[in-house]
Each structure stands twice: as structure tokens, then as C-alpha cells.
Chains A and B, each alone.
Chain A
Amino acid sequence: MEHNIKSVIILGSAALKIGEAGEFDYSGSQAIKALKQEGIYTILVNPNIATIQTSDHLADKVYLLPVTSESIEGVIKKENPDGILLAFGGQTALNCGMELDRLGILEKYNVKVLGTPISVIQATEDRQTFIEKLDEIDVIVPKSKSASNVEDTLTIANEIGYPVMIRLAFALGGLGSGVCWNDDEVRDLATNAFSYTSQVLVEEYLKGWKEVEYEVVRDSYDNCITVCNMENFDPLGIHTGESIVIAPSQTLSNSEYHKLREIAIKTVRHLGIIGECNIQYALDPESEEYRVIEVNARLSRSSALASKATGYPLAFIAAKLGLGYSLSELKNSITLSTMACFEPALDYVVVKIPRWDLKKFSMVSTEIGSSMKSVGEVMAIGKTFQEALQKAIRMLDIGAWGIVTNPDDIGSKISRDEIIQELTTPTDERVFTIPFALKEGMSVEEIHQHTRIDLWFLHKIANIVRVESLIREYAGGSCPRHIVDEAKRTGFSDPQIAGLLGTTERIVRKMRMNYGIKPHVKQIDTLAGEYPAQTNYLYLTYNASEDDISFEWKVPSVIVLGSGTYRIGSSVEFDWCCVNAVKTVKQENYRSILINYNPETVSTDYDEVDRLYFDEIRLETVMDIYEKERPEGVIISMGGQVANNMALPLEEMGAKILGTSARQIDRAEDRHKFSSMLDSLGIDQPEWSELTSLDEAKEFAGKVHYPVLVRPSYVLSGAAMGVATSDEEIEIFLEKAAKLSVDHPVVISKFLSNAKEIELDAVANKGEIITFAISEHVENAGVHSGDATLVLPPQRTYLETTRRVKNIARQIARNLDITGPFNIQFLAKANSVKVIECNLRASRSFPFVSKVTRQNFIELATKAILEKDPPVSPRSFLELDYVGVKASHFSFTRLLGADPILGVEMASTGEVGCLGDDFHEALLKAMLSVGFKVPLKRILLSTGPLENKVNFVESAKLLQKMGSTLYATTGTHKFLVDNGIESNIAIWPDEEGSPNVLEILGDNQFDLVINIPKNFRKEELSFGYQIRRKAVDHAIPLITNIQLAKRFIEAVYLKPFDELKIKAWDEYR
């Protein structure tokens, strides 16, 4: 194949956010691999420092810069690329690409868009054009019309007839879309919508129709194939990112399957897509009537899922097609003997379930619907729907053992009315409620009436309930072989069976082994066994009688445990750690085995590892694999807390834990053991106590003085942790939000106000630190370390403090005899340093510190773990010639009702890391990368308590110098005016007068809202909450922390936007 493309720029999707998560790290990484194979020079722009695609072994040049037209133009000017890829960085990259085109930048620098042309992208993004295009080929779309103001929206809604669906143009993950049943609802939704978009679409609402998707690939020779189809368990009305999805479709006949396939191909050809796209359908459950809902002319969440579900590398192939290859010239990368122009045949089923983390937010609505709220997903592979469904449910890691027989009866409801409520108005727990509905005596047909979930799925769940009752008959006794066999084939886990029999997981495992009931390993080979395949892409099933592969290895192997589903607090950063650990394992001449089940990761790309088990990371499964593979041992320190928690149980089952010993991990994890170790070493820590009654709690708080940090072990609702400043608050917290008893104690610790927080990331070998990095938080203690803005090297920390931090770390490393990665969090106040916690595993900030210091901490850690004596380089990175800043991305806009406030519970969904010649440049780049805007023309201020008001005066003066127009709420306004700063008053909602603060926010003219809450307590429905909520609802950047506000304003003042340097990562040395 001939092409004259020598260099290509690839746009990433920036921070992980709701609607745009790890799938774009995977697709971007594949695109880079595909281009590199062609000898093309690759330039990546993505500020997401935790991704694999921003590693030094992938793209030739990496720019950790915002994905905005300004910075991309800068990179284009500097690098002069021949082509650009827009389809691999989600909606963020696509929108940026369309803007680059609109501004004439691509034309000006003669950059060719590879793959689907811009005009085609526009035709798929603009609803009206899209509908007209499809009409030309008689493809049916829902009755609809676009509107550009609220009144038109109402008129059209009435023309079409209620209920109607309102969608926003150019929005990712269905943001702001929704179903409206009457004029009032339309008015509310549309008013909100027009603050993001200039166009909405009103369409007929197809309640209860099946939702089906196809992933389509087309080349420039007009070859067109569908790689995978998928059916949603939840019918239309629930966003596909919020739905349980099964691949391939289960309830479609040949005629339906191929009718939709034919329409998909016809549509994609007519539109002229080159590369990969996704087409979504509504299908009438009572006929073959269909509607095309949308076409996404880019790699998507669904395409990542389809790639993992089939083994067909969609992004890799799409990148090649963008260069002009024909599908018939490319090989099937699994079989290596057959070609890429084919449609995979599956001999298994795949179930995807979204992972929500709504408990992390206060006041958020838990209802699921037409816009996304989930923060991650899991994918399970099995031979039957029941097997895959129960696996997937366990993979969510929310404490469930399966769909039935769960601790705390997840999904149970008190009354029949509540069951019906859950079935008709689903929340994140609906799937768990279905078995309870069946047990309540509700028929499958009745559940279908309430949920519109296809009877096929409901019958399969009913079968799980039947098997559950079969096992329960043997409670207290021994369960016969054929029942255990049926249970395992239906996806029951050992803990589930143990729960039903009233015994332990260990005993069930023993019984299972005695019966000879073990899972078998099967390959994913894209052709259902028709051709021989050397594939290393594997899963376990009980519906089988033999293993596809042999376990006779000449070379010793090592298992690395992955991080599982992304959730708040555990995300792409651990995938980076796992991928790097696997690379090092391979370099050191071991065969690498990875276990993970998250479809949006690079670690589950089968070309990263010698053997990939796409399966559960749970004691039972890991041991099943361990016993087959008989490795040297397991690395549990790379996959975050999920993997780390398995250290002791695995060791007890006879597995060898590599690196720091399980006993030492326990000494760090167990609060009591850790605390007494610190005491024995003379290391200071905040005073704490574990208590079991409210009186004790209040007494302790009185002794150490408020504020205190409260951590219940059993949470009923809302956030799990909080800061209490008085007896009253501690009462509210422990009585309303948590259950307190001897079995469920609360941990209360002294909360230090105005303290700095410092992090140490390090690697030790046999107790000696071999490398470390110290970072500081911009925000004072009280903001979760995962939400805080991190600075490396520290800019505002005393040298003496860093020296003490280093010494404490050295003592702890020796005492715990650490071999591998670890992280310690410190509080510092006037050079007094206290240890908050210590994790004997890789932490969230490992990719950040590794990339900023250009020293791969994971590679060193893995070498230490494998006893390969890594080089000792305890260099202090305090003297770097540049600064790295990591900033967090918050997805509050998508979490309807959630209070967008930062606290001790983590709330961010993603992060970016940028480099600058100094702190201010790095901070500004990072803030721009997470959506902040400059210049700051109009700002709303509400700075909270007097202390903060005083603290903010200097920043307000800077704003005034920059010519910003300030609006401030009553108290803040008065303070500013008293200090000689010009300000416009914004009246509180409950006060007389105008302009009212909420009204002016609604006008949508602000570039920034700074709202500093008065204290740490959550202020339910307070006016502060209303301001914050209104700001995020209108997508206005919001800062709620005084330190961050000050640093940001300084940065904007000191670093004019056009002076930000376009420098690649490797130019910082």
C-alpha cells in the first residue's frame, strides 16, 4: 500500500470523565501502534498523564497540553504534520477537530484529515443534516425536528405528541438529554439545554423498544462489514452507556439481525464513513419496525467493548483504513492466517454492566436514564447469559456475590410498591431487584410489563432464582454433585454457594475440587474455532469439558493482577502501572499473565501480555488460574486496592505473593497495627480512636477538640466520610448516614485545619528506598488526595519538612521490609510532620511522578519484586528545571443534583498532568486542560468566611488589574468594596432586590464562579449549594477551594495565554 503520509498528529480525549473514559486510551494507543508499524512519525496531544498512550514507548512526540484548537494549532505549527486523526479521542477530539476545520487551521497548515472526512462527521453530528441524509436512502429515523429556542421546542413537542425525547447536538454521552411528558418538563429541560448548545432535537419517544447497536467498518474501496452487534438488556430510554449490554444480540431472529445489518452498511456507505463507526437502532419488540437513532463517526465506548468482546482490533484497523488500506489487505491479528475483512463469529456471550459510584456524592439522584452517570464498566465472558451476568455483577466490586444471595441483600425492597417503583423508575440497583420481585411472587410477565426488559432475559434470571432455591434445599448439609455442577454452570460463585449452604468459601472450594468441578480455559479467536489461532486471549467457563491451551511452559511465569473496573479513586493510572509491570516482567524473561476484566483498558489488549485472562479478580478465580498456570508468584501491588486486598487471602490459599510480604501489607492496612508501629518508631500521627457508640464518639471528639474526621465502617447513604465540627454534626452524621454498633465501629481522628498535605511515592528494595518523589497539594488538608492539585517538585514546602518526610519514609520502609512500590501521605504544619496513611502498593500518582521525573517507578518496583536488583538512585527531584502539576476533572455537570464541593471523600473522575517552565505555567495548562477558560472577563465571587475574604483580597486586586468584571454575593461584595475593589452586587436568593445571583448565573455570561463553602459540613439545599449547582448545570467553571482559587488567579495574571509554551514532554529535561 502506497501513501505519502509521513507524520500524523493524534488527538486524545484529555481527562477521564463521565461519558469519556479509558476506552480512548485504548483506541488511541492502538492507533499509534498501527501508524508506527507503517513507519509514520506520531505526535500525540493529550494532557492525561496517567494514560498508556502518553508513555515514552508509544508516540514519537507527546504533548501534555489541552485538547483545544489554540494548543493544537501551536503543535501543528511546530511539528508540521501531514495528517491528523480525530476519531480516536472521543467527542473531545472530534469537537476539537471540527473547530480546527471551522477556523481554517487544517487548511492553512495543509493537514489532511485521515479517515472519515470532516463533512461526513458534521453530517452525523448535526441532526437535521443527518435526518436528511438518511431520508435520501429511505432509512427511517424517529419523527423529529430541531429547535433553537425554548418556544420552538414546545411547539414541536406538541406537534409530535408526548412523550418526547429531547437530545442535544454535539454532546458526549447523552449529556442533558431526557424524556419529557409535558410542557413543564420540556420547558425545564430546554432552558437548561440551551446553555450548552444552540440546537436541540425533539423526537418521538419509543418507549419499550429494543436498543440494538452495530459496529461498522468501511474502507475507501467500499468494503463494509459489521464487526459486532450488541443488544441492550434495558430497553430504549436508558442511555447505552447506562445499560447492561449483551453481545451478540440474543432475541433477534436471522431476519431482524440481517435487516439491521444491511441498513447499517447501506447507511455507512451513503454517509461515506472511512474507518469505524457505531450505529444505534430502536427495534419494535412486536414487529420488524426499526428506527436509526444515531451514528457515531468515531471510535466510541461501544467500539472498545466490541473490540474486547470479539477480539477484533477496531481502532487498529480503523487507523490503517485511514491511511488508505483495503480491509482485504489487512490480517486478522488473532489468527494471523485469515484476513481482517470478515465478521467475527462468537462462541460465547459477553455481558457489560456499567459501574456507578453514586454513593460518593451527596444529594445526587440515583435514577438512571438517558444521560450517563456511570464512571466505569465491566465485561464478563461466559458460555451462557447467566454465567456471564453473574460474573459481571461480581466484577462491579460492590460487595455482590452474584445476582442473588448477597450480603446486605443488595436491591431488596421493603414492599411490593417499592419493588414496582424500582422496576419502573430504575436506579443503579434495578437488576438486583428483579430476583426479589420474582421471590415476591411477581410473574416474569408482570416484571416485563414494568421494565419492558425482554422476557428472554427475565426467564434466564428466573432460572438463576430457581437454581438458588435448589442449592438452598441443602443448607446445613452437603450439596450433591449435579446441583453444584448446575450452580457453577449458571454462574454461581463459591461464596454464593457457601452463603446458601451456610458454610465457608473454603469448604465449598474443597467440595468442588472433590467433585472435580473446575472451570476450563477457552480462547477468544474471532472464528469460533473454525481456524487454528495462536490467541492468548482467554476466559474461564464451567460450560466446557476441556482447556483450549496447555500449561506446560519452559519459562517461569508471573501473574499480575489488574485493577478491575474504573471507579472514583481507581482508574487509568493503575492500568498504566499494570501495563508497565507486565512489560518489565517480559523484559526480565518471565512469561507474563495478566488478569483483568475492564474493557476500557490497554492492559486487556491481548498484544500487551503473553496470556490475558479476561476474568474476575477474586480469590476463587485467581486461585483457579494460579493452580492451572503454576506461576512463580503473583504481583498484587499494581492494580490498586482491589488487587492489594487479596494479599492475605491468596497467601492463605497457598499462592506466593511477590514483593512486600502479605503480613507486612496487613501491618500497613490494619489501622491498629500500623498505629502501634508508628508509635514504636516515634513517628507522629493524628490522634484517632475506633469507637462503637455515639457517646464515646462525642467524648473522644471533645478530648481531641473539633474538627474531627469521621469514618463509619457501615454507610447507609451518602458519602462515607465526613468532617464534623460540633457534637450536633457528629450526631447528624452518625445517626442519619451510618449504622454504628460493635460490628460496625466508627473511626474518628483529629482533623488538622490549615495543614499542608504532602505525598511521597517511592520504591524500596528489601527495606531500602531506591527512588522517591515528594509532591505537595495546592489545597490544604481536607480535600481528598485524589481531588487535590498536585505539584512536583513542591513549591511551597519547607526544605526541613521534605527532609523529615524522607526520613520517616526511610524508617517505615525498613520496618515494613518493603520490596516494591509504596506511597505515604503526610500532614505538615510548621515543620511538624504527621503520617496519615501508608499504602504498600502503587498509588494513583505513580504515572504522574514517573512521567514528570522521567524515571519509571513501576519498572524499578517490578525489578525489585522480581529480585533483579534494580539500580539505586535516591535522587531528590527537588531540583528539576521545570514543574509538573496534576489537576482533577470533575463530572458534576452530569451528576444531577450532586453538590459540587470538594471534601474528604473523593469526587473527581479523572485527571490531567501538565509541565511548565514554572509552577504558574504548569498550573494554567493543567487548569485549561480540565475545562477552565481564560480570559477571566466576568467572575462571580462568594468567598465564605471572613478569614477567606481577607485571604482573597490580593487575588481580587489581580483580577481587577486584568480588567475582570467582578460580581459578588452580598457579604463578599461589601468586603471587596470596603477594600477598594470594584464589584457588582449579586443578591442572595432570599434577599430583596436585584440582580439576584441565581438569575445572573442563568444568563450564562460567566467565565468562572468561585464559591468557597463556609465549613466542611455539607449544606443541604443551602444557597451556596444552589450557586454551585447552577454553575455546573450551566457548565461554568467552578472553584470551591480558596488556595486553588488564589493560585489559579495568580497563574492567569502572570502567564498571558499566548505565552504558554508549546513544548513536548521530552523537551523538559
Chain B
Amino acid sequence: MTMELILEDGTTYSGKHFGYEKSIAGEVVFNTGMVGYPETLTDPSYKGQILVFTYPLIGNYGVPDETREDNLLKFFESEKIHVKGIVITSLTKDYSHWNAIRSLEQWMIEHEIPGIEGVDTRALTRKLRSAGTQLGKMIVKDQDLSFYDPNNDNLVAQVSADQPEIYGDFNKRVVLIDTGCKKNIIRSFLNRGVSVLKVPWNYDFSGEKFDGLMLSNGPGDPTMVPETIENVRKQLAKDKPVFGICLGHQIISLAAGAHSYKLKFGHRSQNQPCVLVGTKRCFITSQNHGYAIDDQTLPDDWKPWFFNANDGSNEGIRHSTKPIRSVQFHPEAMPGPVDTSFLFDEFVNML
């Protein structure tokens, strides 16, 4: 069965449908990672997006089971697939891996996610790179629908927890604002002997007992969550350690008074080089974001911490005197390199 990907500028790519049979619309973005499709597809930051894989062979090692540890799925970053649809070159049905229990396609059918294969994803990526991120729709069997821009919605509210939830039972505890949290952030604390109180995106945590505040990753435009920014602004006036990742980094920056802007086509890959400001040290990081912080707009008591070696964009900030820091990239990895996991160690040591 054929399926078409139609971009808002009218460009059409035709391919073979796989996965769940339905038409969808969203924002088309590309990711250049070569491994980690189960982690990527369950990353809540992709909410509302159609994901193009530049790596041509997807599904090679199947999809693992739903084993839980500490009440978290062991092999996934959230409870479900968050991307709306995927676009690839070639799908592997006959997967091979010791911990796989089903194929990618079976898993996508279970989660009602469609896919197209046989698309020249490099051509599509070059288009998105030069024309910028676009809206798009994946149409099967002439079931047309309108374009949809997820950035007009409060996506965070859609992926955040409904209720506070506690993980682990340790002496130290962080409050984690769940704006679409990848589960490896929680695992990263549990592995270091720190309990996590995960709270909804607009939750007033000021009455909770905690040693530090953690802001998670999440989807979309950071200016869509003013309540979170306001809660964080209050906390920044205090002296407790704060750490933020990705959207969390943007929220801290906005709370501090800086401005955000939309990148032309975002950073979505596992090979982004980030330089520690003032040194020759460079770290390979995993990234997934469409918005960034303009560090020229940071108030005087804040300093840029990391910058992207490829395009110079801001990759982290820190407060001059307080233990408050945040990074645009993903030290929790999953998928991607684990080179910056030491940032969790540093944060935990501050608690």
C-alpha cells in the first residue's frame, strides 16, 4: 500500500506504508542518530512530530519487552510512542536481538503509529535543512486531513504527569518537574541514591520537602508554559541547587530573564559537539530540540556554560554564585552517548 508524505510547501514524497493504517499530521523533523529507535520514539519531546530517520535501516534489532524496574519501563523512555508517524528508507521486519519480543512494525501497530518506507530521507532532510522545519501530513488511502502545527498547543500539558509520584526511598530527594520527562532522568537519580518526587508541569512544589529541583526535557515551545516558568522563577530566588535539561534548561533561562527563539531545523542527533566555555574540552552529546536560548539576553549574574561547536548556539548556562545550572543537551542519553552523565554526579554532590 502506498503512503504519501505531503509538506506544507506542497512537496510530496511517496513510499510504502507500514505500521498502523491511518493518516496523520504534524511537524516534520529529522534525526541523524544511528541507533536507539525504541528510546527515540518514546521520548515525549517528539510529541506532535513526524520523525524522519536519516539512518536508512530501521527496525534491525526489534523492540524489547515491557519489563519494569522501580515502576519504570526498563527499555523505554516513557509509557508510549510519542511521535505521530515515522519516515524511513528501509524497514527490517526480520529483526534479530536477544531481548526483542516483537518487530518495530508490530509495536507501531499496537501504538497506532503509521510509517512510510522507501522514501529518500536524505533528500527530505536536505529540504528541511534548507527550507527549515515544515508542517506535514502522512496520507494513506486518500484519507486526507488538514495540516496541524503542534507548537500552537501546550504540548507539555499533554505529556506531563497528572499526579505527583515518588520514586525511590533515599535520604536525599529532588523535585522533578515533569514537562515530558524521559525516564532515564529518574533512573539517573535512583542509581545515585536520590529519591525523585515527580510533579506535574504546573504543580506548586513550594510546600514540598526537597534538596534540589530538577527540570526535565519536554516538547515544543518553552513560552507555552508560563505557570512553570513562574514557579521556577520563585525557586531561583532561593539558594537550593537547580538543574535543568533541554526544555528544562529553556524554562530556567526564561525564568532568569533570557529569551528563547526557534531554530531553523533544530538539533536532533547523537553527535552534537558541545564545548565547555573557556576550555578546549568538548563533549559529544545527544540532542532533541527545536528552540534555543539566546545567551546574549542572559542577566549579568548568569554565564554561558556550554556552546555548540558547530553553530555556536547556547548549550548551557550557570548562575555566577548559586548552584543553579542547566544544559540544552541530554546528559541522561538514551539514546546516545553517555559522556556528560558526570553532570548528574555534580548535581547530586551539591544536594
A349 touching B282, Cβ below 8 Å: no
A250 touching B90, Cβ below 8 Å: no
A546 touching B123, Cβ below 8 Å: yes
A285 contacts B by Cβ under 8 Å:
yes
Contacts of A262 in B (CB 8 A): 337-339
A64 to B280, CA, bound (A): 40
A892 contacts B by Cβ under 8 Å:
no
Size band of the A side of the interface? 35 or more
B122 touching A221, Cβ below 8 Å: no
B349 contacts A by Cβ under 8 Å:
no
A474 contacts B by Cβ under 8 Å:
no
B336 contacts A by Cβ under 8 Å:
yes
Partner-binding segment picked from A152-160, A324-332, A936-944, A969-977: A324-332
A285 to B97, CA, bound (A): 8
Partner-binding segment picked from A17-25, A527-535, A578-586, A985-993: A527-535
In the complex, which residue of chain A has the Cβ closest to the Cβ of B334?
A254
A454 contacts B by Cβ under 8 Å:
yes
In the complex, which residue of chain A has the Cβ closest to the Cβ of B34?
A248
A258 contacts B by Cβ under 8 Å:
yes
A316 contacts B by Cβ under 8 Å:
no
Contacts of B13 in A (CB 8 A): 545
User: In the complex, how many angstroms separate the beta carbon of A462 from the nearest chain B beta carbon?
Assistant: 8
User: In the complex, how many angstroms separate the beta carbon of A448 from the nearest chain B beta carbon?
Assistant: 9
Given A257-B35, A543-B56, A529 contacting B61 (CB threshold 8 A) = no
Contacts of B97 in A (CB 8 A): 251, 253
B280 touching A328, Cβ below 8 Å: yes
Could you show 20 A-B contacts with beta carbons less than 8 Å apart?
A221-B280, A254-B35, A254-B39, A254-B336, A258-B35, A258-B337, A262-B337, A286-B98, A328-B280, A337-B310, A339-B310, A342-B310, A347-B56, A383-B90, A456-B92, A528-B32, A529-B129, A530-B32, A530-B125, A545-B120
Starting from the known contacts A342-B309, A343-B270, A456-B94, 19 additional A-B residue pairs (CB-CB under 8 Å) come to A249-B35, A253-B99, A254-B334, A328-B309, A338-B310, A343-B284, A346-B34, A347-B56, A349-B57, A384-B56, A384-B90, A456-B92, A456-B96, A528-B55, A529-B54, A529-B122, A530-B125, A530-B129, A548-B126
Residues of B36-68 at the interface with A, using a CB-CB cut-off of 8 Å, are 36, 38-39, 54-57, 60-61, 64
A459 touching B94, Cβ below 8 Å: yes
B271 touching A345, Cβ below 8 Å: yes
User: In the complex, how many angstroms separate the beta carbon of A449 from the nearest chain B beta carbon?
Assistant: 14
Contacts of B94 in A (CB 8 A): 444, 455-456, 459, 462
How many interface contacts (CB-CB < 8 Å) are there between A and B? 169
C-beta contact mask, B76-111 vs A, less than 8 Å → 1, else 0? 000000000000011010111111000000000000
User: In the complex, how many angstroms separate the beta carbon of A432 from the nearest chain B beta carbon?
Assistant: 21
B335 touching A529, Cβ below 8 Å: no
C-beta contact mask, B271-306 vs A, less than 8 Å → 1, else 0? 111010001111010000000000000000000000
User: Which residues on B are within 8 Å of A, measured CB to CB?
Assistant: 13, 30, 32-36, 38-39, 54-57, 60-61, 64, 89-90, 92, 94-99, 118-123, 125-126, 129-130, 269-273, 275, 279-282, 284, 309-310, 333-339
Residues of A226-256 at the interface with B, using a CB-CB cut-off of 8 Å, are 248-254
Contacts of B61 in A (CB 8 A): 251-253, 456
B122 touching A456, Cβ below 8 Å: no
A383 to B61, CA, bound (A): 18
User: In the complex, how many angstroms separate the beta carbon of A670 from the nearest chain B beta carbon?
Assistant: 45
Given A253-B35, A338-B309, A285 contacting B98 (CB threshold 8 A) = yes
A250 touching B126, Cβ below 8 Å: no
Partner of B271, one of A252, A343, A455, A544: A343
User: In the complex, how many angstroms separate the beta carbon of B330 from the nearest chain A beta carbon?
Assistant: 12
C-beta contact mask, A269-292 vs B, less than 8 Å → 1, else 0? 000000000000000011100000
B60 touching A250, Cβ below 8 Å: yes
A341 touching B339, Cβ below 8 Å: no
Contacts of A250 in B (CB 8 A): 57, 60
A348 contacts B by Cβ under 8 Å:
yes
Partner of B120, one of A258, A261, A544: A544
A383 touching B56, Cβ below 8 Å: yes
A16 contacts B by Cβ under 8 Å:
no
A904 to B6, CA, bound (A): 65
A225 contacts B by Cβ under 8 Å:
yes
A423 contacts B by Cβ under 8 Å:
no
Residues of A455-474 at the interface with B, using a CB-CB cut-off of 8 Å, are 455-456, 459, 462
Contacts of B309 in A (CB 8 A): 328, 338-339, 341-342
User: In the complex, how many angstroms separate the beta carbon of B188 from the nearest chain A beta carbon?
Assistant: 14
Partner of A349, one of B56, B119, B335: B56
In the complex, which residue of chain B has the Cβ closest to the Cβ of A248?
B34
A951 contacts B by Cβ under 8 Å:
no
User: In the complex, how many angstroms separate the beta carbon of B172 from the nearest chain A beta carbon?
Assistant: 25
Contacts of B269 in A (CB 8 A): 345, 528, 530
Contacts of B125 in A (CB 8 A): 347, 528-530
User: In the complex, how many angstroms separate the beta carbon of B1 from the nearest chain A beta carbon?
Assistant: 13
A328 touching B282, Cβ below 8 Å: yes
Contacts of A265 in B (CB 8 A): 339
A341 touching B334, Cβ below 8 Å: no
A118 to B72, CA, bound (A): 48
A385 contacts B by Cβ under 8 Å:
yes
Which of A222, A265, A456 has its CB near the most chain B CB atoms (within 10 A)? Answer: A456
C-beta contact mask, A983-1027 vs B, less than 8 Å → 1, else 0? 000000000000000000000000000000000000000000000
The 10 closest A-B pairs by CB, nearest first: A254-B36, A459-B94, A326-B280, A456-B96, A528-B32, A345-B32, A528-B54, A455-B96, A529-B125, A545-B120
C-beta contact mask, A208-235 vs B, less than 8 Å → 1, else 0? 0000000000000111010000000000
Given A221-B281, A456-B96, A530-B32, A348 contacting B310 (CB threshold 8 A) = no
Contacts of A349 in B (CB 8 A): 56-57
A522 to B96, CA, bound (A): 29
A355 to B243, CA, bound (A): 54
User: In the complex, how many angstroms separate the beta carbon of B99 from the nearest chain A beta carbon?
Assistant: 7
User: In the complex, how many angstroms separate the beta carbon of A210 from the nearest chain B beta carbon?
Assistant: 11
A328 to B130, CA, bound (A): 26
A248 to B33, CA, bound (A): 11
User: In the complex, how many angstroms separate the beta carbon of A854 from the nearest chain B beta carbon?
Assistant: 44
Partner of B121, one of A221, A343, A347, A454: A347
A253 to B38, CA, bound (A): 9
In the complex, which residue of chain B has the Cβ closest to the Cβ of A337?
B310
C-beta contact mask, A433-465 vs B, less than 8 Å → 1, else 0? 000000000001000000000111001001000
B123 touching A347, Cβ below 8 Å: no
B90 touching A345, Cβ below 8 Å: no
User: In the complex, how many angstroms separate the beta carbon of A227 from the nearest chain B beta carbon?
Assistant: 10
A344 contacts B by Cβ under 8 Å:
yes
Contacts of B282 in A (CB 8 A): 223, 326-328, 339, 341
Which of A222, A254, A456, A532 has its CB near the most chain B CB atoms (within 10 A)? Answer: A254
Contacts of A548 in B (CB 8 A): 122, 126
Partner of A254, one of B98, B123, B130, B335: B335
A420 to B121, CA, bound (A): 40
A455 to B97, CA, bound (A): 9
In the complex, which residue of chain A has the Cβ closest to the Cβ of B95?
A456
Contacts of B120 in A (CB 8 A): 520, 543-546
A531 touching B96, Cβ below 8 Å: no
Contacts of A383 in B (CB 8 A): 56, 89-90
Contacts of A530 in B (CB 8 A): 30, 32, 54, 125, 129, 269
User: In the complex, how many angstroms separate the beta carbon of A226 from the nearest chain B beta carbon?
Assistant: 8
A768 to B336, CA, bound (A): 63
Given A251-B60, A384-B57, A522 contacting B336 (CB threshold 8 A) = no
Partner of B33, one of A223, A328, A345: A345
Residues of A299-351 at the interface with B, using a CB-CB cut-off of 8 Å, are 326-329, 337-339, 341-349
In the complex, which residue of chain B has the Cβ closest to the Cβ of A335?
B310
User: In the complex, how many angstroms separate the beta carbon of B19 from the nearest chain A beta carbon?
Assistant: 19
Given A250-B57, A342-B309, A527 contacting B32 (CB threshold 8 A) = yes
A459 touching B96, Cβ below 8 Å: yes
Contacts of A221 in B (CB 8 A): 279-281
